[in-house]
Homo-oligomer: A and B are copies of this chain.
């Protein structure tokens, strides 16, 4: 791929690249998801410029939701800007209608640039080389750039280039093929050169403004340029006489603003001004800034794995997506289950964020981790409303949350045969409430950010604990939680799900801990908060009682935690065969319509508890439960394998950990679930990082300490990364023999390696020899 436009377009080394080496018409949607570019504010799928058949292009803006004819409020596909096509004699050069002579795309994860080179021959025999480099700026969240080079290889003559802003966008509907229109056009303005498209959401009239300009990057070419309107699509059309063998370079600049961020009155001039400024500063300047910003993020975030290129590429791919979704600009948005890479799960935020993604941010970008938690603070009004509407008190966080925090789980879904099925997760999957609390706890341990805790975190904890006080039911001498769905969604309407009940117990204890801590350290702040949320002393008393007497179904003899009351008396099936991908096959003789009558699990449930609270269960209990549930887990969720990997490593079962790690980190790269086209599996990206760091590197939080208890796969010569711990940035390198630690920014910290404490400072590298783990 030529880099004659800008030196910063030079491709990084292979282990930073995700490549598409030939054109697969039926894998377009998958590559579009994989090649998503973004910066937390914007996410744009990596669709081909000419919009061939089978493409599902889309750009999304964090926090921009709308309902319209959709069944629930959903992330809005906003006008796209990657539309760029080359026409000769009225015919478009398109990869799906031309003969593809060669084709290659590469996502340079290090630089955050998507490269394409396609040579195609149209039915008239004309050969064209089409090259593009595309980025969504990391240094300027409202800006983006695409450089396109076209070379007529065997012909001269008039070429027309159409470069569009596509306002004619709709979201995928709930029923197959339905299309939801979320945006209405407000204005389309032709400046002398540039174009400006302003649309607004149907429900809230949130304005989306995009200014764009496409310019020829050479001299002495007579180009006729006109800006034309095709309904809601705005196109810049350029016509010029091309000469065989010459390369013609264009730069397409974009600026994006929305009224959601307060740009209401001046949105037009604001967008146009930024566009002009960026164009004035030029391609070289902005590509350099973008690459520098991306590379700086990688300095903190990268996990280097020596000796295993597959693992290296896999972990980087997952970190890449965690990086480009990182919402550093805005504490009122969170990260959706599919990031901003597609419309799967409608852009909704699930527990995936707090349990599976948050750890990456806590240890790499604590400020952004705080932002993610702030989303739960800013959406508390919705959570309070959810409670009220269910007849409860306090904050019931939504199982699926959009922008207001109100419950947005669809009420029904579609079976494969097209019939609809009631969805109960919004009504019953209440552990989300304590998952959020756990997120606060997890963040607090690593950061000691009492400013956050006192101002926001405590309110989240208290209001969500209050929900449980109204939700639990007293039966005899204990408190129960009935009719819930645990993480294992094969079983609905269950009573006393162990995961939920245990987490609630912990949640109420944590609320008390914070209450006591604030009473001691910040009594005035606590007083004000008590007043603000009208917290009664009876509620504090009830926290104590409920947290001590909540029911947990546990079989003393076998040391097995029962997933929920009555689980052990269900039909017992165990997994005995794996498919070619190493995933469980349904046991023989099973009636799939009666799954809820069996002990088979969709995903980690009790085992997830063992992962979240590594100190609270004995190794023996962990092992017994791990073995019992592992044999019954179907891994029908991308959230499952990583938890088994980490818990397995915790109890010394290494045999499946590496497989689980590869499964998790390659779930999208291999399109293992056949739905990567709908978007990246966000929890799996976090899960991959967790498996590497909490699993193999063995870095866990135990008894409030940062502990290392590593175990590396044989071929991993070294794993190295940096992480933040209580304000200090720590460099970690470890191989099969040693672990080396050094503070590279901040104060000295205490860490535990294999149960022994060490003080690590910035002065020297602390190296600890590692004996065999078991």
Contacts and interface: CB of A to CB of B under 8 A. Distances in A.
Contacts of A173: 228-230
Contacts of A244: none
Interface stretch (A50-58, A177-185, A250-258, A590-598): A177-185
A204 interface: no
B188 A231 contact: no
Interface in A309-334: none
Contacts of A231: 170, 179-181
A415 to B, nearest CB: 16
Interface string A78-91: 00000000000000
B229 A179 contact: yes
Nearest to A235: B178
A202 interface: yes
Contacts of A678: none
Interface string A225-237: 0101111100000
Copy count, this protein chain: 2
A228 B230 CA distance: 25
A68 B199 CA distance: 13
A170 B181 CA distance: 16
B184 A229 contact: no
A554 interface: no
A178 B69 contact: no
A178 B230 CA distance: 5
A569 B228 CA distance: 45
A175 interface: yes
B185 A229 contact: no
A363 B202 CA distance: 49
Contacts of A180: 229, 231
**Chain B CB within 10 Å — which of A173, A175, A188, A231 has the most?**
A231
Interface string A164-196: 000000100101011111001100100000000
Q: Which of A175, A178, A180, A181 has the most CB of B within 10 A?
A: A181
Contacts of A177: 228, 230
A657 to B, nearest CB: 47
A75 to B, nearest CB: 17
Nearest to A171: B231
A231 B183 CA distance: 10
Nearest to A170: B231
Contacts of A175: 226, 228
Contact of A178 (B179, B228, B232): B228
A185 B188 contact: no
Given A181-B231, A228-B175, A69 B188 contact: yes
Given A175-B228, A184-B184, 4 more contacts: A173-B229, A173-B230, A181-B232, A185-B202
10 tightest A-B CB contacts, nearest first? A184-B184, A179-B231, A170-B231, A181-B231, A179-B230, A69-B229, A69-B188, A178-B228, A181-B232, A178-B229
5 contacts: A170-B230, A170-B231, A179-B229, A180-B231, A181-B229
